[in-house]
Structure 1
Amino acid sequence: MKRRTFLAAATAGLLPAAAKPSPNIVLILADDLGWSDIGCYGNRDIATPNLDRLAAQGARFTQAYAACPVCSPTRGSIMTGRYPVRTGVTDWIPGRQSDPKGPIVTPHTADQLKLEDRTIAECLKPAGYRNASVGKWHLGGDGFLPTDQGFDLNIGGNHRGSPPPSGKLGSSYFGPFDLPNLKAGPGEFITEKLSEAASSFIAQNRANPYFLYLAHYTVHIPLQAHQEDIARHRARANGRYNPIYAAMRESMDQSVGRVMEAVEKSGAADNTLLMFFSDNGGLRYEGKSPSAVTDNAPLRAGKGHLYEGGIREPLIVRYPGVAKPGTVIDAPVCSVDFLPTFAEMAGQQPGDVDGVSLLPLLRGGRLKPRPLFWHYPHYSNQGGAPGSAIREGNWKLIEFHADSRRELFNLADDPGEHRNLIRRQPKIAGQLYAKLDAWRKASGAIMPTRNPNADPAWPGFQLTGEEKPTPPE
């Protein structure tokens, strides 16, 4: 084309625009972080400036849910876009057994995510993405690790759900430890090591689109952090909060800041989606411990429970040019929605999933109304009881399997789930239960069975976090 003709065509806008490269995707997943544990969700005890800045630069979801109140099932739902009932991973791996004297026998969870389940990494690979899993995996051991599930790189992921053993010690955030492609010397902090690995991956992959799954161990127990940070919080906590847990939250926020900096230094911040989420609600009590770890107020209960404190999570998404800075999104969404979102971004088909793309919400639009479902047929280490739940609109119904008890809440009026409206609203309760039961049957949900050797005087597991039934009004 002659120069004069080229200039005329360019002026008229007739030349094809250069194709925009596929967007990078960074998903940072916290472990056991509660809905109200960070500043932009109302916490006033600790500073989380990086997460707050991320929210100011993008969208903050107020009603985002994990697909399960414990870790492995939610992680499986993120990877596949499917509810845990369909992956078979319905409890943390390897799960908690039911008591031989209890009223029901709970099913066993799958010990790994099936290889035939299509993961985010496998969805994105045909679009030229390089995929890295950095940190906690907890979806299977040898033969079922991230590199067996479509990831090009696995740094630190194995079958374990807690930080690795350190020397002769038990689970610890501090080295020495030896994980896949990640070693640490004495005193090195795993949260910082994972942040370093994630930042290095971003810097090394400027020339191609990538998916980075940074799954932290923090703030999972054991509660550990740098001593100087703990001491600083002990000096001002005055019993209002756990100083070690506060220091761990700060280390999480610092990691987010480091990843944000790496993305910005790479020169691709304007073409990178950065998402932050947690795998289940904040831990109130573990086992029979009398000491509370965190408080999810105004939400009820915490990790291991189907009440809001166990499943509602912080979700922050920065996607320049798509999500308007400072956006607050109140629509209920779920971890099964992540794969469809990333698939649409990459121009790929999501396949057989239960979730939907969140891009319409990020663009300022709406989603079609839909119910959200949970099926957790297990006793949790935190005192949670086996049950199933459905949320549709502002209504939420929970059915507890051991005694067939049902509780109905209007979350718009009662986000703390204190008023059981099961008697006042029998029609709504009946409609919700019919949908929940139909979903369980269609999904192949495995239900607990009655225990023929049950002891009528069984006192329960007597865990600190056990919740009393909510009397109907």
Structure 2
Amino acid sequence: MHFYHCFRALLLAAVVCSWAAAADTPPNIVLILSDDQGWGDYSFMGHKSIQTPNLDRLAHQSLTYTRGYVPDSLCRPSLATIISGLYAHQHGVVGNDPPKTAKGDPSAPYQTGTRNDYLQHIDKMPKLPEILKREKGYVSLQTGKWWEGNFSRGGFDQGMTHGDITRGGRHGDEGLKIGRTGLKPIYDFVREAKADNKPFFLWYAPIMPHTPHTPPERLLAKYSDKTKSLPIAKYWAMCEWFDETCGQLLDFLDEEKLSDNTIVIYICDNGWINLENESKYAPRSKRSQYEGGTRTPIMIRWPGHMSPQMNTTQLASSIDIVPTVLAAVGIEKLPEMEGINLLDAKAVDARDTIYGEILEHDIRAMDDPAKSLMFRWVIEGPWKLIVPYAPNEPNVKIELFNVEKDPTEENNLAAQQPEVVKRLQAKLDAWWAVP
């Protein structure tokens, strides 16, 4: 009998320890990044033709901010912000490519350098996977879009992108196969992390619905019946194809019984409005200062730790992603990170303003972000002020829009609302005072 009681006590202690260990296990982090998708191009956002059932399901399971934004509507600076929690003028990645002139050419109007020269910024900036590994023992995987050289430079343990410019390295190389050719590298990584009892961070950034718009014929046929424009049908079909891959990933987490202890975050790197006559973006979308370029839904799903809600009024930004993840796993954000924890209702309620910067496609200087600056913008409640940077945009006027009433930004109210312009201009200058 004595042996029985001792054995039972040991067994109960083991169970309690097991429960405690499970409770102390940091949540896995899955970051889903859409690439070139309009902020309204989801069925849960009200699109009348595009069907996104898997992202609809995620949106309704998440704390979803329909008024989410990225500070810059260009992919490389946007992704660098998402992984670092810093604005482009802070982390230094202020464009996609270095200028197409030789390094040191005296005729060049600004400092130039090779693609490898510009990788110095990723080495200097904080990186979410690196922080998670150092502080909490996470393992990480990069897949899809990635501009900053080899995956390891981003702090990832594993990855698909080699980043060698002599072998086609630019914005993802081998990583760009993910999604379009299946998710096997993700499945293998997650199963390995699970077997090793390691929390994991996954960067899923397929080049979807980004061009080339090459959807499966079954989806193209479906959307060809919904529009007379073949390029638009292709784009719509790409949105659903991307949605299907998101469904495969979320279903896999369910099958592996990982969903309950996994934070899933969704965001798009920048917006997109497809031209009717070709598979290219319209002027007021990608790379622009307008809602069509900067706005995106942002979703956060963490079962048991947040209440699903469709937040249609408060503002969220991609600079909030790193602080949100760090707060969730018990790590202090760095002082230079200006974002907030989107799961902290008080912090969200206290915010009334977000900021952004629109930069040139080609980087104009190695260490002077203002050389590449085109516009700064600020949103306060319904008001959005867009201020051109005079040295680079000397002939463009200041614009003020009420984006709640005028989301397509057709009615410039700057002349009618000088006090609003003055107030928001002061906020912009306090945020980033440019020469």
TM score, norm. by length of structure 2: 0.81
CA distance in 1, matches of 2:136, 2:123: 20
The verdict on how the C-alpha distance between 1:152 and 1:35 changes in structure 2, with shifts beyond 3 A counting, is: same
Q: Cα–Cα, structure 1 residues 234 and 290, in superposed 2: closer, same or farther, change >3 Å?
A: closer
Higher mean C-alpha deviation, range 198-207 or range 147-156:
198-207
**SS of alignment partner, residue 348 of structure 2:** coil
Contact in 2 for aligned 1:33/1:281 (Cα 8 Å): yes
The 3 A distance-change label for structure 1 pair 96 and 367 is farther
1:195 aligns with 2:197: no
Whichever structure has more helix as a proportion of its residues is 2
What SS does structure 1 have at the residue aligned with 2:181? helix
Amino acid at match of 2:421: A
Q: 1:85 aligns with which of 89, 92, 96?
A: 89
Q: Does the 8 Å CA contact 1:96/1:379 hold for their aligned counterparts?
A: no
Mapped to 2, the partners of 1:416 and 1:230 lie a distance apart of 28
Q: Is 2:216 the partner of 1:226? A: yes
Rounded Cα–Cα distance in structure 2 between residues aligned with 1:214 and 1:388: 29
1:205 corresponds to 2:193? yes
Determine if contact 2:326/2:333 at 8 Å carries over to the other structure: yes
Which residue in 1 is equivalent to 2:128? Answer: 120
Residue matched to 1:186: none
Query: What residue is the counterpart of 2:381 in the other structure?
Result: 393
Contact 2:84–2:322 (8 Å) recurs in 1? yes
Q: 1:111: how far off?
A: 2.8
- Aligned pair 1:251/2:241, yes or no? yes
Give the superposition deviation at 1:115.
0.6
Unaligned runs of 5+ in 1: 98-104, 166-170, 172-176, 183-188, 448-473
**CA positional deviation for 1:200:** 2.6
Q: What letter is aligned with 1:137?
A: W
Q: CA deviation at 1:233?
A: 2.6
Give the structure 2 partner of residue 291 of structure 1.
278
Stretches of structure 2 that go unaligned for 5 or more consecutive residues are 102-108, 363-372
Q: Which of the residues 111, 117, 122 maps onto 2:118?
A: 111
**Structure 1 counterpart of 2:424:** 432
Which residue, 158, 176, 179 being the options, matches 2:174? 179
* Residue 356 (1) aligns with residue 328 (2): no
- Quote the offset at 1:359 in angstroms: 1.4
* Equivalent residue number for residue 406 of structure 2: 414
Matched, 1:321 2:307: no
SS in 1 for 2:155: coil
- Return closer, same or farther for 1:429/1:240 CA change in 2, 3 Å cut-off: farther
Amino acid at match of 2:174: L
User: Quick check: 1:375–1:389 contact (8 Å CA) kept in 2?
Assistant: yes
**Distance (whole Å) between structure 1 residues aligned to residue 72 and residue 86 of structure 2:** 12
Q: Shift in Å at residue 190 of structure 1?
A: 4.6
* Contact 2:290–2:409 under 8 Å retained in 1: yes
Alpha-carbon shift at residue 74 of structure 1 (Å): 0.7
In structure 2, the residue matched to 1:464 is: none
Segment drifting more, 197-206 vs 126-135: 197-206
CA separation of 1:321/1:132 partners in 2, compared to 1, >3 Å: closer, same or farther?
A: same
Misfit runs of 4+, over 6 Å:
14-17, 105-110
Among 118, 136, 146, the alignment partner of 1:137 is: 146
Residue 353 of structure 2 is aligned with which of 371, 378, 381? 371
Q: State the shift of 1:94 in Å.
A: 3.5
8 Å contact kept, 1:371–1:391:
yes
1:366 partner SS: helix
Q: 1:350 to 1:96 in 2, by over 3 A?
A: farther
Match of 1:154 in 2: 159
- What are the Cα deviations for residues 238-280 of structure 1, in whole angstroms up to 9, with x where unaligned? 3497121122112211111111011111212111111111100
- Three-state SS of the structure 1 residue aligned to 2:398 is strand
The alpha-carbon deviation at position 439 of structure 1 amounts to 2.1
Equivalent residue for 2:71? 67
Match of 1:303 in 2: 286
Which residue of structure 2 lines up, in the alignment, with residue 345 of structure 1? 328
How far apart, CA to CA, are the structure 2 residues paired with 1:15 and 1:213? Answer: 32
Per-residue deviation, 1:416: 2.0
Distance 1:96 1:235 in 2: 42
Deviations 1:376-428 (A, max 9, x none): 24269xxxx92111112222110123135211112222222222111221111
Inter-CA distance 75–302: structure 2 relative to 1 (3 Å threshold): same
Distance 1:192 1:75 in 2: 20
Q: CA deviation at 1:80?
A: 0.7
CA shift for structure 1 position 127: 0.4
Cα offset for 1:16? 11
Give the corresponding residue for 1:471. none
For the residue of structure 1 that corresponds to 2:344, the secondary structure is helix
1:328 Cα offset (Å): 3.1
Does the Cα contact within 8 Å between 1:274 and 1:318 map onto a contact in 2? yes
Amino acid at match of 2:126: R
Deviations 1:203-257 (A, max 9, x none): 2222211110111111222222223432333244334971211221122111111
Q: Give the whole-Å Cα distance in 1 for the aligned partners of 2:189 and 2:307.
A: 27
Describe the shift of the 1:122–1:225 C-alpha distance in structure 2 as closer, same or farther (beyond 3 A). Answer: same
- Match of 1:386, SS? strand
User: In the alignment, which residue of structure 1 is the partner of 2:260?
Assistant: 270
RMSD of aligned alpha carbons? 3.6
2:341–2:347 Cα contact (<8 Å) kept: no
Alignment check: 8 A CA contact 1:45 1:241 kept: no
Cα distance in 1 between the residues matched to 2:100 and 2:91: 18
Q: Percent identity?
A: 29
Return 214-223 or 74-83, whichever deviates more: 214-223
Kindly provide the CA deviation profile for residues 100-137 of structure 1, in whole angstroms up to 9, marking residues without a partner as x: xxxxx788798333312110011111201111111110
Q: TM-score, normalised by structure 1?
A: 0.75
SS in 1 for 2:350: coil
2:299 match: secondary structure: strand
